[in-house]
Amino acid sequence: MNKIKFNHYFKKMPDSIELLDTWIKDIAIIDYKNLTPEQIEQDTAIRSGGNYTLPKTKLIWIKLWSYTIHGGIEWATLRRYTPQKFEYHSSLVGQQVKVEIEEE
């Protein structure tokens, strides 16, 4: 199964994310300068405190859907844009992925 990796547990994530069935639903390229402070906070807030620093360039917006015992939860994440990363994540739209957390 393909993977999507994170360096932290983020507040945006459903609880027990590594155990949930998750799919990539959509993907887009966005520019950091078009994000509101609230959107940046929502994406970067780490559960244990602090925030991840996003690059102030083009970003990949990834919409995910995770299945919980209470039903489906939509959530999203932002990633640094590179053509290779965009191609990889685009190829996974509609597919199930394994979420892995590798805390630093």
Which pLDDT tens digit goes with each residue over 63-83?
999 998 888 999 999 999 999
In angstroms, the CA 62 to CA 31 distance is 13
17, 66 in Cβ contact below 8 A? Answer: yes
- The pairing of beta strand 71-80 with beta strand 2-6: unpaired
79, 62 in Cβ contact below 8 A? Answer: yes
74, 24 in Cβ contact below 8 A? Answer: no
Which pLDDT tens digit goes with each residue over 27-63?
999 999 999 999 999 999 999 999 999 999 999 999 9
Q: What is the mean pLDDT of the chain?
A: 95
Instruction: Please report the pLDDT score of residue 104 as a whole number.
Output: 66
Across 11-32, average pLDDT: 95
